[in-house]
Structure 1
Amino acid sequence: MNAIGTEYVNLSEFIAEQMILLSAPRNNVSSKELSFLTEAVQGIAPKDHVEMMLATQMAAVHMLSMTMARGARQGGSLEKVGFYAKQANQFMRTFAVHAEALKRYRTGGKQVVKVRHVHVHEDDQAIVGNVTKGGGGE
């Protein structure tokens, strides 16, 4: 339970059950898929139950996006390829939204943007970054 970011027994059991069901297409649990889901959640290292649920969604969405990408790659009619490619794209965009949401949640939504105006005239040089005076002897 600590590895997936929660101390709530019922919640962790429910999420584990959801991962088992997701890894059981046609009611046959795939140990590889279940391991993937579990290790993906652990790899994201959720710190609390909100992060744990988001990490679980991210793992599921990734698995689904790869399934759709595989469907597109297997070919068939142009209509089928288009359908699978569109679904894969939507899942991949959803994953990116989840990753951004996790980042915002972890940082408290804080963003730091520094804008500095610098004028560089013709034949001048500019340095981008922090400049400090050093004791280089030059």
Structure 2
Amino acid sequence: MSGGSPDEVNLSFMISMVKSIKPRDSIEAMLVAQMVSVHVMAMRCAHHLANAEDLAQHDSAARALGRLARTFPAQIEALNRYRSHGEPAITVQNVSVGDGGNAIVGNVTQHASVIVSDKNPTSAARNAPKAAGSRRRGESADAKREAQA
């Protein structure tokens, strides 16, 4: 590297990376060129960090490397979003549904910790999960509600 411009080896690397990502239009080409430049600069900062001679050089290279390292995945995400026209990715898997079975086609959201409050104490006690120890049948509904709280 001389005078801040890439040498022939770095330039060849950068061009080969742009070609391997295969930009589909000029917007993608510009984004991919930025991505490759950010990667090259991150590697340069990593080299400076490894060869820092004092604390100021170390801190400067570490800060720059951190920023560049956060930028690159954001650029990948931007490219993926642009390529998919802002639509979420779809994962297709093989699913077997046997006779009499049910299948759901579409988006499914599951909430792991949904707590449903029931005003009727008897149905709340009946639907509540059992505690690790056994309970006596004679406990009042109030005691059961306190145990659930």
> Shared fold (TM-score greater than 0.5)?
yes
Partner of 2:109: 115
Partner of 2:20: 43
Higher helix share: 1
* AA matched with 1:42: K
Change (3 A) 1:45 1:77: same
Matches within 5 A, 1:44-63: 44-63=21-40
Q: How many angstroms does 1:28 deviate by? A: 6.8
Aligned CA RMSD, in angstroms, stands at: 2.4
| Identical counterparts, % of pairs | 30
Is 1:102 equivalent to 2:79 in the alignment?
yes
Rg larger for: 2
Change (3 A) 1:105 1:64: same
Change (3 A) 1:29 1:67: closer
1: distance between equivalents of 2:42 and 2:61? 9
For structure 2, list consecutive stretches of 5 or more residues without a partner in the other structure.
Answer: 90-106, 114-128, 131-149
Task: Pick 1 or 2: higher relative contact order, CA cutoff 8 A, min separation 6.
Answer: 1
* AA matched with 1:67: R
For structure 1, list consecutive stretches of 5 or more residues without a partner in the other structure.
Answer: 1-23, 123-138
TM-score (norm: length of structure 2) = 0.58
